[in-house]
Amino acid sequence: MTIRTLLLAAGFAALANFFWATNAIVGKIVVAAVPAFTLSQFRWMLAFLLIAPFGIPQIRRQWPWYRQHLGKLLVLSVLSVTLYNTLQYWALVYTQPVNIGAMAALTPVMIFVLSGLLGQGKLTLAQWSTACLAIIGAWLVLTDGRGVLSFSERGLIGDGLFFVALICWSFYSVVLKTLPTENISGIGLLTFLIGCGSVAILPFWLSDAVTGDALWPPADVLWAVVYVAVFPSLVAFFCWIRAVSIGDANVAGLMMTTAPLFNALLTLIVLREPVSGGQWFGIALVILGVSATLLLAKRLTLPKTGNL
């Protein structure tokens, strides 16, 4: 891999993570006016309408594969589109984007741990050590550098909700590895997951009517729905696919460590909310721990000849 290719792959992966970070910022801005299920429903409905003309022909062309793996695909759509993204918006009612970013950066570590528990690979002692470093960093972010979390804090609810979301995403990632997707159109697969996931959100969205919440985003926040449907949903996905295709999954995975940094900077610039010194230190530990864990994983998968 040339330096130019490496920089391009890192750039596309970083851009994907930037758009995912803006999803948390936009969500924080509008969750006071738009319930989590409503925002999630309209985000994915619009994303589906935008991608469907390109994805549905691919699904029809490869339908025997979709029919063969239908059950697993439905589980994947619920774990990713329905649960992960909706729980993130719900969590933002109670917690801050900087917390979301720190926890999101732990995703590769959580996937490694879950894969090991399910017998798909084991973490070495060195990887456990670096993973613990990342977890300590995330804990410092969540506790504002104090290291002690009060159970009376409102943010505990939000952090708990997003932790459940991360578990859903980790299961999604592990289950996705078991699917033979080598010859399957990425656009078609994304279209299928978005479409099924959107349908699964419908009962929760309609339940907002019982509580009296708005079923339609107010006109003054429609910009937010359009933004999260286009950039964090579609543009980020294609940036990520581009990063993996011209580089490799390890480069893309390493760039996931930019998530807490982007969230913290956007919190300062857009939301104009402070990020404490303890949280910055925690963010640094998350970046260091996750990067080291991913680099160790890459080293273990290199050919024994040592070729790069």
Position 107 pLDDT exceeds 90: no
Please list, in sequence order, all residues whose beta carbon lies within 8 angstroms of the beta carbon of residue 28, skipping any fewer than 6 positions away: 92, 96, 97, 271
Q: What amino acid is encoded at 172 in this protein?
A: Y
| Res. 174 pLDDT band, cuts 50 70 90 | confident
Calculate Rg over the CA atoms of the chain: 19
Q: What amino acid is encoded at 275 in this protein?
A: V
pLDDT score for 199: 95
pLDDT score for 308: 34
Whole-prediction pTM:
0.88
pLDDT score for 241: 81
| Res. 177 pLDDT band, cuts 50 70 90 | confident
Position 303 pLDDT exceeds 50: no
CA distance 233 to 249: 19
pLDDT score for 155: 73
- Exposed e or buried b per residue across 40-77, where buried means at least 16 C-beta atoms within 10 angstroms of its C-beta: bbbbbbbbbebbeeebbebbeebeebbeebeeebbebb
* Average per-residue pLDDT for the chain: 86
CA distance 27 to 90: 9
pLDDT score for 299: 61
Q: What is the pLDDT of residues 202-245, one digit of tens each?
A: 988 888 667 766 678 888 999 999 999 999 999 998 898 888 77
pLDDT score for 250: 65
Q: What is the mean pLDDT of the segment spanning 296-303?
A: 55
Which among 60, 16, 78, 88 has a CA at the least distance from the CA of 187? 60
**Domain range annotation of the chain:** 3-301
Please report, in angstroms and rounded to a whole number, the separation of the first and last CA atoms in the chain: 8
Using CB atoms within 10 Å of the CB of residue 211, give its burial: 0 to 12 exposed, 13 to 18 middle, 19+ buried: exposed
Q: What is the pLDDT of residues 161-173, one digit of tens each?
A: 999 999 999 899 8
Q: What is the pLDDT of residues 126-159, one digit of tens each?
A: 888 888 899 899 989 988 877 766 555 677 889 9
pLDDT score for 1: 61
Do 232 and 46 meet the contact criterion of CB atoms below 8 Å apart? no
For residue 205, the Cα-to-chain-centroid distance in whole angstroms is 21
CA distances from 177 to 46, 109, 120, 126, 275 (A): 28, 16, 10, 24, 36
CA distance 187 to 181: 12
CB atoms within 10 A of CB 300: 12
